[in-house]
A and B are shown apart, each in its own frame.
Chain A
Amino acid sequence: MNSPLLELKGLCSTVFSEDTDQQIPILKGVDLAINKGEIHVLMGVNGSGKSSLAHVLMGHPNHQITEGEARFDGTPIQDMEPDERARAGMFLAFQYPHAIGGLPVGTFLKAAVEARRSEEVPFRVFKRELDAALEKLGISKEFLGRSLNEGFSGGEKKRNEILQMHLLKPTLAMLDETDSGLDVDALKKVFHDVREFANQDNALLVITHYDRVLDYIQPTHVHIMSDGRIVKSGGADLSKRIDEEGFEAVLGVEASV
């Protein structure tokens, strides 16, 4: 078998806290392998390090790898800029997407698509793709004229993230609590769509607290994170147990930090 799409070995990280001006240890030895064609779900109590892991992988400027290894498509990513990682095929749907005043969504999307493909995309070609994606996700065209994430409702932000995933076609899409903020109908639509997006040439890492999401996306793997480590891995049944019994019961007392 080829090397995994994403491979983490004993990954440790710190985050720079602007309040205290200190490096705080977050990831404490994460091992994980994700292959193409797989759908992984990452669960865990608040503050266990799920978002941090996603940001470490995407290259957040405040998060630093201190030990261990992270490879994407066989290449170590530690020294790659976030934009290089994105062009290589990584994508993160943010838990809290940033707002940029005066930057129209449409302009942003075209720039992102052209960056990802490293070529100019003719307007007509772009528009065709965009229209299709908008229709699929039930997003109105007026949306394109609005400033990026500015004044967006929680659900609009999340849908916008998924829209980007569709247009950028990453090989590894990490979705950080994309379900939160979506109403029931939107949740169904978006995750049905995420499921459709998944194929044999890409992989998903979905961070969520809700078992319901798993019903839509039918994961191949489920991981539980606790205090900066993946402490338990299994199949879809693992999340069923957590949903019914809670983290504490499944993992034992040490998880209740």
Chain B
Amino acid sequence: MSSEKTEVDFDVAEINKDYERLYGFHTNTDYLKNSTRGVSPDIIRQISKIKNEPEWMLEFRLSSLEIFNSMPDPTWMDGSVFDEINYEDLYYYASAGDKKYNDWNDVPEDIKDTFERLGVPEAERKFLAGVSAQFESEVVYHHLQEELEKKGVIFLDFDTGVQKHGDLIRKYIAKLVPQGDNKFAALNSACWSGGSFVYIPPGVKVEIPLQAYFRINAESIGQFERTIIIADKGSSVHYIEGCTAPTYSKTAFHTGVIELFAEEDAYLRYTTIQNWSTNVLNLVTQRAIAKKNATVEWMDGNLGAKTTMKYPAVYLAEPGARGRVVSIGYANKGQRQDAGAKMIHAAPHTTSSITAKSISHNGGRSSYRGLIKVNKGASHVKTDVECDALLLDDFSESDTYPTIDVRERKDVSVMHEATVGKVSDETIYYLKSRGIKEEDALLMVVNGFIQEFTRELPMEYAVELNRLIALEMEGSIG
């Protein structure tokens, strides 16, 4: 296994070198001003060739690019959000993927500072900063990997997935998120790099969460991550993407596509906590299908980023399917968290629940945007939506845009509950009367507010999330 890994590393190095020589790729910005811009079919061809991709993938990329070029911006949000995207610069993004820092010393001070305060161990910090692949946990990971391989589990980065399991990927890719689903999905389909490919064979229960950062040749969540997870019949898996430490991106645009397939009786949970630096526009299309008696759960935490637009969806395709989304968003100064969920009840006897919690602070804005759809014939359906907004001051905002579209009447129960609240002075007074300082009191209330999300996380993530929230709130009180 290790020799194989070295080979891959070598290839990657070669790609970069080659690419630099061929296209004059440099990180200095002068180059951007002087070169041909935008993503051209030629560039896509080159990338695909360098990655040694099969012909079908090249065609997939090229047709996606065509779709992208012909599509307008989404209309459901005010267009100003998209004005900031400089598609011209995509030349740079598409070719390089996410540029990692090669040295801890190059990581910006504020990011380093946050790592320190989070108490992230040195090794992990190095890894998170993209310094080296010599992550200590790799040893642990290898054991895990062996165990999983024995059971037939596939857990690879998407590129390797395409190389080794092309037929499987070809069968599933873009089945839930078609290339033309939205402009950004099209762009991702054309330019994707990074992400995971996971396959769990029938009946296999993966006991410990699969964490993206234990993956071979893990890239930090890429600019255009592409992930497919397939939980075959009766299998079960919990996949965790990202980490709570801030993901610094020099590039200001992240657009991912995640597709989850839960076959009959399968259980699939996808957890992500994203904490992009505050310059990033984060647009991710997350969609899942749940077959007979299968369960899909999205646990979605969004901090950081300038703008987030994310609406994890579950398509409840067969009787007995269950879908669940639990999400939290924290919109701080200058940030906008536009998040929500979609549940499509396409079969009878299906259930879904959405719990969306948002916190707005220092003038930040959180929105809940959701869709509940019950198709004709989908009787005996139960769906529950709860969205709660917490405003930490008088000048932050929250709003909700729920859409409920029910086409079946027989035994359909739709519950929708929305609350907007502030932390009451009385509550803070009560905590303070116990000796607890005001900022700690406020933090306790906020952590209580998102507890429904936190309790779903593995312990270390829950602890880190709480600490992260503390950092977000730090210095916000007089």
Query: Interface of A with B (CB < 8 Å)?
Result: 58-62, 81-83, 85-87, 91-92, 94, 97-98, 100-103, 107-108, 111-112, 115-116, 147-148, 164, 168
Offer 24 A-B interface pairs, CB within 8 angstroms, sorted by A.
A58-B433, A59-B429, A61-B429, A82-B432, A83-B432, A83-B433, A83-B438, A83-B441, A86-B435, A87-B435, A97-B430, A98-B426, A98-B427, A100-B427, A100-B431, A100-B448, A101-B449, A102-B448, A103-B447, A112-B434, A115-B436, A115-B440, A148-B448, A168-B434
Interface of B is mostly: helix
B424 to chain A: which residues have CB within 8 Å?
98
A107 to chain B: which residues have CB within 8 Å?
444
CB closest residue in chain A, given B437? A83
Report the separation of the CA atoms of residues A83 and B429 in the bound assembly, to the nearest whole angstrom.
8
Q: Report the minimum CB–CB distance from A51 to chain B (whole Å).
A: 13
- Inter-chain contact B440/A111, CB cutoff 8 Å: yes
Of the four ranges (under 10, 10 to 19, 20 to 34, 35 or more), the interface on chain B belongs to 20 to 34
A86 to chain B: which residues have CB within 8 Å?
432-436
- Inter-chain contact B430/A94, CB cutoff 8 Å: yes
A101 to chain B: which residues have CB within 8 Å?
448-449, 451
Report the separation of the CA atoms of residues A62 and B424 in the bound assembly, to the nearest whole angstrom.
12
B441 to chain A: which residues have CB within 8 Å?
83
- Inter-chain contact B425/A61, CB cutoff 8 Å: yes
A115 to chain B: which residues have CB within 8 Å?
434-437, 440
- Inter-chain contact B429/A102, CB cutoff 8 Å: no
CB closest residue in chain B, given A118? B435
Q: B464 within 8 Å of A by Cβ?
A: no
B430 to chain A: which residues have CB within 8 Å?
94, 97-98, 100
A108 to chain B: which residues have CB within 8 Å?
431, 434, 444
Report the separation of the CA atoms of residues A81 and B477 in the bound assembly, to the nearest whole angstrom.
14
Q: Report the minimum CB–CB distance from A160 to chain B (whole Å).
A: 12
Q: Which of A82, A116, A147, A148 contacts B429 (CB 8 A)?
A: A82
- Inter-chain contact B429/A112, CB cutoff 8 Å: no
Report the separation of the CA atoms of residues A87 and B447 in the bound assembly, to the nearest whole angstrom.
23
A91 to chain B: which residues have CB within 8 Å?
433
A98 to chain B: which residues have CB within 8 Å?
424, 426-427, 430
Report the separation of the CA atoms of residues A155 and B444 in the bound assembly, to the nearest whole angstrom.
24
B445 to chain A: which residues have CB within 8 Å?
100, 103
Q: B452 within 8 Å of A by Cβ?
A: yes
Report the separation of the CA atoms of residues A97 and B437 in the bound assembly, to the nearest whole angstrom.
18
Report the separation of the CA atoms of residues A91 and B430 in the bound assembly, to the nearest whole angstrom.
11
Report the separation of the CA atoms of residues A58 and B433 in the bound assembly, to the nearest whole angstrom.
7
- Inter-chain contact A111/B436, CB cutoff 8 Å: yes
CB closest residue in chain A, given B434? A112
Report the separation of the CA atoms of residues A223 and B26 in the bound assembly, to the nearest whole angstrom.
83
A111 to chain B: which residues have CB within 8 Å?
434, 436, 440, 444
Q: Which of A61, A62, A102 contacts B449 (CB 8 A)?
A: A102
- Inter-chain contact A103/B432, CB cutoff 8 Å: no
- Inter-chain contact B433/A59, CB cutoff 8 Å: yes
- Inter-chain contact B434/A164, CB cutoff 8 Å: yes
B447 to chain A: which residues have CB within 8 Å?
102-103
Report the separation of the CA atoms of residues A98 and B448 in the bound assembly, to the nearest whole angstrom.
14
Report the separation of the CA atoms of residues A83 and B428 in the bound assembly, to the nearest whole angstrom.
10
Q: Which of A58, A94, A102, A147 contacts B450 (CB 8 A)?
A: A102
Quick one: given A102-B450, A102-B452, are A83 and B436 in contact (CB under 8 Å)? yes
- Inter-chain contact B436/A112, CB cutoff 8 Å: yes
Report the separation of the CA atoms of residues A58 and B431 in the bound assembly, to the nearest whole angstrom.
12
- Inter-chain contact B435/A116, CB cutoff 8 Å: yes
